[in-house]
Amino acid sequence: MTAAMIRTIHVGCRQLGLDEDTRRELQLRVVGKASLSDMTPAEQQKVLDALKAEGFTPTGGAKAKRAAAARGDVRFCHVLWGKLHRAGAVDAAGAKGLNAFVRARFEKAWGATPIDIDQMRDWKQIAAVIEALKGMCKRAGIEVER
């Protein structure tokens, strides 16, 4: 968490137009330490909070939300996968985990699978994924509507 916090602080300083000397002065004023690497995570959080008070708005970076799939049946696959993850039935969350499941489960039967489930267009293949996910939900004791 410390490295990510330091990167966020540096991004905040760039966004606010603070040079290195000004950043160090801010850190000294807020927590009494000029070096981010000498700070505890709690102290780094105080510096980040001070940057936010100055107008810094973190954007979310790599964790930005993925756009919803164009097809309703594919979105339903994501919903089922999310239920399975929240119930602890699968380890990998999100589209990355769902895509890995589709590849592992259907690649031999189909000969090839798409890199991303959101790109699937064959309704028969999507229906097969839905049925597989519904079966997993049933075995995990998860209620599924539809």
CB 68 within 8 A of CB 116: no
Question: What pLDDT sits at residue 119?
Answer: 87
Confidence category of residue 83, pLDDT binned at 50, 70, 90: very high
Could you tell me the residue ranges of all domains in the chain? 2-62, 72-140
Q: What are residue 144's phi and psi, to 5 degrees?
A: -125, 125
Helix/strand/coil (H, E, C) string of 9-46? HHHHHHHHCCCHHHHHHHHHHHHCCCCHHHCCHHHHHH
Confidence category of residue 1, pLDDT binned at 50, 70, 90: low
* Cα–Cα distance measured from residue 98 to residue 82, given in angstroms and rounded to the nearest whole number: 9
Tokens of 9: 């602080």
pLDDT digits (tens, 9 = 90+) for 7-21: 889 998 888 888 999
Tokens of 84: 């399975």
pLDDT digits (tens, 9 = 90+) for 100-123: 999 999 988 888 877 888 888 899
Tokens of 17: 């137009």
Angle CA(30)–CA(33)–CA(39) in degrees, nearest 5? 95
What residue has token string 């399975």?
A: 84
| Residue 75 DSSP SS3 | helix
Tokens of 46: 């105080």
